[in-house]
Chains A and B, each alone.
Chain A
Amino acid sequence: MTRPAPPSIRWTNWNLLLLIPLFMLVTPIFNRSGPALFGIPFFYWFQLAGVASGVLATSIVYVKTRTAPTATPPGPEPDVDTLDEGAVR
């Protein structure tokens, strides 16, 4: 399945990371009470910890696609985008 991507969609395999947090829909993984953490059953603290998976997935994709020329509208100099992307707060 490594056909060249059609021009309208700019694909990178990093995007597949975005599917990882979907494990949170597989309830049998975490539908149990032990082991508890600070008295909180596994079901609850596992899903709270799952928030990190979403943050990691989107952060990695952001960093990995940042240097790629995401925008190539006709006209502008490439350094305009680079400048804006450098302005991380």
Chain B
Amino acid sequence: MRWTELVVFVLLFGAVTVLGFVAAKWKAGGTLDHLDEWGLGGRKFGSWVTWFLIGGDVYTAYTFVAVPALMFSAGAAGYFALPYTVIVYPLVFMPLLRIWSVSRARGYVTPADFVRGRYGSSVLALLIALTGIVATMPYIALQLVGLEAVLRTLGLNGSGIVGHLPLLIAFVILAGYTYQSGLRAPALIAFVKDILVYLVIIVAVVYLPIKLGGWSTIFGAADAKFRATPAPGDGLLLNANNQLQYATLALGSALALFLYPHSLTGVLASRGRNVIKRNMSALPAYSFMLGMLALLGFVAIAAKTTPLVNQATGNPDTNTIIPNLFAQQFPAWFAGIAFAAIGIGALVPAAIMSIAAANLWTRNVYKEYLRKRATPAEEARQAKLASLVVKFGAVAFVLFIDPQFSIDLQLIGTVMILQTLPAVAIALYTRWFHIWGLVAGWVVGMGWGMVMLYNIPSPDGKRAHFGTSALKLGELSLFGWHPFAGSPAQIYVGFLALVANLLVAVVVTVIARRLRVFNGLDETTVADYHVDEGAKELRPVAAH
């Protein structure tokens, strides 16, 4: 047991808990019994709050442990996280403004709300909502994996159910203040989280290289490690086979990021279009930090850090590399701060994700199918309960199922959420696609994506299915035809599935239009996509 670290961790965790409960009164509106308030914090966050909120939401604890862990084991291929988080903001700059405006004008809380309004189709909206919920659940579970990596490094590495107890306690607390304060809780806590994270990473990337003999020594050690392993895919540079994978994975992940309901929640909670525009320029500060953090994977190689063996599963857990590096290299009190940064870093996204999933459930399943006349207060009550269910579902995932399963599911989740791009992002610009074209494209993209992922073994050959999201082009099969037979180059599965999705959507749209099939009613107007804060005719927030 590492007592100093544990005490620092518990103190910071306690401070954040108080903040979480107090947050209910922060910038409070007239009532918390409305999804605009509970689920979107009153739609009035300014530039700073939004920066901390989206930053805290997108750059999760899992990112902080998993990206360096990937660099540690694979090298350059793990660095895709940097181009991914650089290109994402210019790419989503314009679409985000449109979805913010139309959501503000029409009172939409979720992406599925928008699809419902744009196409008047509850079937299509249900598909989008379910995709969002299913893709978000394992992501919440992954935050727990990140949190648990820290708790186990702290010495709370028991076996069986007792080993999971600290995690359970942390999550009960989280569930409590999310239930009470809604989105305001993670928004306020994000300040603490991000300041701690910046502090820890800046210290780490300055102090550790000096201590270990400079960056050239560190890269030298990493190079030596990768040369010594038999695996062909690792190394300090990309090779001929994984460059296409690197680029398509970065692009696919960038396109997927703001289709995730929790990312969009942070955007919709902002006050106006200029808040979003400023953040598109300010959020890359986190990307730069992530790029530096990733290099800590190599620092861990140079420092000869080894992963901890998870007592619950009996396997070495590479996700413990970064916590272990901190424990080994930092004085105890600072390691405690670092652990708290990662631990609190898990709470913020977990809270926002559970709120986003609860919003989807409430707006697009409960109100749409179960209780059409639900009042705003009933919606808020339902969403609060749903957020509890979602969180404990995620805990159950970690308790009763191998954490590897959450990682597999998250791999699947990004491929899944990418399939909502035509119905959500393209629909912001044009209604050319037909409802049934979008549904057919979704079915094909989803189905084919899952089949491809299922058939990919892990690079080390230990697992036969869901090994990675990189498909060898030579194994690409179109009804038995192999267009790139023999090619060892790899490509991101989600990208292929999205291309198939779009092709099918176009073909079915053309047919449906020929046959003059009814294409739903659009309740949005051209002006809706351009409204901004301060407009006189805007609907009031948290009124019906």
Q: Could you tell me the distance between the alpha carbons of A69 and B278 in the complex, rounded to whole angstroms? A: 17
Interface string of B70-82 (1 = CB under 8 A from A): 0000001001001
Tell me if B303 counts as interface (CB < 8 A to partner A).
no
> B281 an interface residue at 8 Å Cβ cutoff?
yes
Known: A41-B236, A62-B277, A71-B532. A47 touches B79 (CB 8 A): yes
Interface presence of B47 (CB below 8 A): yes
Q: Given A18, A31, A50, which contacts B86 in the complex, CB threshold below 8 Å?
A: A50
Tell me the smallest distance from the CB of A58 to a CB of chain B, in Å.
Answer: 4
Which residues on A sit within 8 Å (CB–CB) of B429? 8-9
Taking the nearest CB of chain A, how far is it from the CB of B298, in angstroms? 9
B90 A18 Cβ-Cβ under 8 A: yes
The answer to whether B237 has its CB under 8 Å from any CB of chain A is yes
Known: A43-B76, A53-B86. A58 touches B534 (CB 8 A): no
Contacts of A84 in B (CB 8 A): 272, 274, 532-534
Q: B466 to chain A: which residues have CB within 8 Å?
A: none
Query: Measured between C-beta atoms, what is the minimum distance from B89 to chain A in Å?
Result: 6
B281 touches A62 (CB 8 A): yes
Residue A76 lies at the interface, judged by CB distance under 8 Å to chain B: yes
Q: How distant is the Cα of A87 from the Cα of B87 in the complex, in angstroms?
A: 27
The residues of B that contact A41 with a CB separation of less than 8 Å are 219, 236-237
B residues contacting A by CB (< 8 A) are 46-48, 76, 79, 82-83, 86-87, 89-91, 93-94, 97, 101, 214-219, 236-238, 243, 246-247, 250-251, 272-274, 277-278, 280-281, 284, 287-288, 291-292, 295, 429, 526-527, 529-538
- Inter-chain contacts of B287 with A (CB < 8 A): 51, 54
A10 at the A/B interface (Cβ < 8 Å)?
A: yes
Contacts of B79 in A (CB 8 A): 43-44, 47
Bound: A51/B48 CA distance, A = 20
Q: Mark A1-37, 1 if CB is under 8 A from B, else 0.
A: 0000001111000010111111011111001110010
CB < 8 Å neighbour of B238 from A31, A59, A72, A80? A31
Contact between A89 and B216 (Cβ–Cβ < 8 Å)? no
Least CB distance from A79 to B in Å reads 10
Instruction: Name the residue among B218, B278, B535 with the largest chain A CB count within 10 angstroms.
Output: B535
CB contact under 8 A between A71 and B217, given known A8-B526, A27-B243, A54-B90: no
- Please give, as numbers and ranges, the residues of chain B lying within 8 Å of A74 by CB-CB distance: 527, 537
Chain A nearest CB, measured from B125 CB (Å):
22
**Complex formed: what's the CA distance from A34 to B216 in Å?**
12
**A residues less than 8 Å from B47 (CB atoms):** 89
Does more than half of chain A's interface fall in helix, strand or loop, or is it mixed? helix
In the bound complex, do residue A47 and residue B526 qualify as a contact, i.e. CB atoms below 8 Å apart? no
Enumerate chain A interface residues (CB-CB to B < 8 A): 7-10, 15, 17-22, 24-28, 31-33, 36, 38-41, 43-44, 47-48, 50-51, 53-55, 57-59, 61-62, 65-66, 70-76, 80-81, 83-85, 88-89
Contact A40 B86 (CB under 8 A): no
A18 touches B526 (CB 8 A): no
Contacts of B97 in A (CB 8 A): 70
The total of Cβ contacts below 8 Å across the A-B interface reads: 154
The interface residues of chain B lying within 8 Å CB-to-CB of A25 are 83, 87, 247, 250-251
B531:A71 contact, CB within 8 angstroms: yes
A83 to B272: give the CA distance in the assembly, Å: 13
Question: By the criterion CB–CB under 8 Å, are B292 and A48 in contact?
Answer: yes
Task: Classify the interface of chain B: helix, strand, loop or mixed.
Answer: helix
What residues on A are CB-neighbors of B83 within 8 Å? 24-25, 47, 50
A81 and B219 within 8 A (CB): no
Other 17 A-B pairs with CB < 8 A, given A18-B90, A24-B86, A73-B536: A9-B429, A21-B86, A24-B83, A25-B247, A31-B243, A38-B214, A39-B215, A40-B219, A50-B86, A51-B291, A53-B86, A62-B274, A62-B280, A70-B273, A75-B536, A75-B537, A81-B532
With a cutoff of 8 Å between Cβ atoms, the chain A residues found around residue B243 in the complex are 27-28, 31
Contact A70 B537 (CB under 8 A): no
The CA-CA distance from A70 to B100 in the complex, in Å, is 13
Closest CB of chain A to B283's CB: distance in Å? 9
B175 to A: closest C-beta gap in Å:
34
Q: Which residues of B contact A80 (CB under 8 A)?
A: 534-536
Q: Could you tell me if B277 and A58 are in contact, using CB atoms closer than 8 angstroms?
A: yes
Contacts known (A54-B90, A59-B281); A10 close to B219, Cβ less than 8 A: no
Most chain B beta-carbon contacts within 10 A, residue among A51, A84, A88: A51
Give every chain B residue within 8 A of A83 (Cβ-Cβ). Answer: 534
Given A54-B86, A73-B535, verify A39-B93 contact (CB < 8 Å): no
- Nearest Cβ in chain B — how far from A57, in angstroms? 5
In the complex, how many angstroms separate the beta carbon of A24 from the nearest chain B beta carbon? Answer: 4
Per the bound structure, the CA–CA distance linking A38 and B215 in Å amounts to 7
Q: Give the docked Cα–Cα distance between A38 and B292 (Å).
A: 14
- Chain A residue numbers with a CB within 8 Å of B538 are 73
Bound complex: CA A8 to CA B306 (Å): 56
A10 to B243, CA, bound (A): 36
**Chain B residues whose C-beta falls within 8 Å of the C-beta of A7 in the assembled complex:** 526
Q: Are the C-beta atoms of A57 and B238 separated by less than 8 Å?
A: no
Question: With a CB–CB cut-off of 8 A, which chain A residues contact B535?
Answer: 71, 73, 75-76, 80
B529 and A54: CB pair below 8 A? no
* Residue pair B530, A73 in contact (C-beta under 8 Å): yes
With contacts A73-B527, A85-B274 taken as known, whether A58 is within 8 angstroms of B537 at the C-beta atoms is: no
23 A-B pairs with C-beta separation under 8 A? A8-B529, A19-B90, A25-B251, A31-B76, A36-B216, A38-B215, A43-B237, A47-B82, A48-B82, A51-B284, A51-B291, A55-B284, A58-B90, A58-B281, A59-B281, A61-B277, A62-B277, A65-B277, A71-B273, A73-B535, A76-B536, A80-B536, A89-B47
